[in-house]
């Protein structure tokens, strides 16, 4: 088993007119697409992306609308590794207000073989900070 420290990855997006819903704010579907993509960036830093598939988005929670012209930052990190799965935590903030979380949640990816059957990855995520330990515990609770 290989122990890997938890590490964050940032992905930035400019919210444009084609990303909006009928209320003129960021469409949840577009946000979900970017959310999974950000998690995939973190997961593919650990395993070959060819052998990763998204299994589930866990409760993506919106706390504030995002307006056109705003630049958002998706911060993602893999906080838990099961036998074949990786669970990532993703939070979304405005680039100029990193303390204000707009959206956050978890996403699970599965490591698979060439036939898309789950395959052990032999990774263990090492949580060091209090925040990462808390996120890891929340991710473990999602598996129950």
* Distance of alpha carbon 93 from alpha carbon 142, whole angstroms: 23
Q: Which domain holds residue 101?
A: 2-142
Strand partners, 103: 62, 92
pTM over 0.85: yes
Residue with token string 């609308």: 65
> How many separate domains does the chain show?
1
Model pLDDT, residue 60: 92
Span 1-29, average pLDDT? 96
9: which 2 tokens?
């990855």
Strand partners, 20: 26
Whether the per-residue pLDDT at 3 is higher than 80: the answer is yes
Could you report the per-residue pLDDT of 34-59, keeping only the tens digit for each?
Answer: 999 999 999 999 999 999 999 999 98
Whether the per-residue pLDDT at 144 is higher than 90: the answer is no
Cα torsion for 9, 124, 46, 40, to the nearest 10°? -60
**Averaged pLDDT score across all residues of the chain:** 96
Instruction: Indicate which CATH number applies to the domain containing 119.
Output: 3.10.129.10
64: which 2 tokens?
């504030």
Model pLDDT, residue 59: 84
Model pLDDT, residue 100: 93
């Amino acid at each position: 088993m290989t122990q890997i420290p938890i590490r964050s990855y940032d992905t930035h997006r400019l919210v444009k007119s084609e990303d909006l819903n009928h209320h003129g704010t960021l469409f949840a579907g577009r946000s979900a697409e970017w959310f999974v993509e950000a998690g995939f960036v973190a997961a593919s830093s650990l395993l070959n992306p060819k052998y990763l598939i998204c299994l589930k988005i866990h409760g993506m929670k919106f706390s504030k609308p995002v307006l056109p012209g705003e630049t958002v930052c998706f911060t993602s990190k893999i906080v838990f590794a099961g036998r074949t799965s990786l669970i990532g935590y993703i939070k979304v903030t405005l680039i100029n207000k990193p303390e204000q979380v707009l959206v956050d949640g978890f996403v699970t990816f599965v490591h698979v073989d060439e036939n898309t059957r789950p395959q052990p990855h032999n990774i263990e995520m090492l949580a060091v900070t209090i925040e990462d330990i808390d996120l890891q515990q929340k991710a473990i609770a999602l598996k129950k």
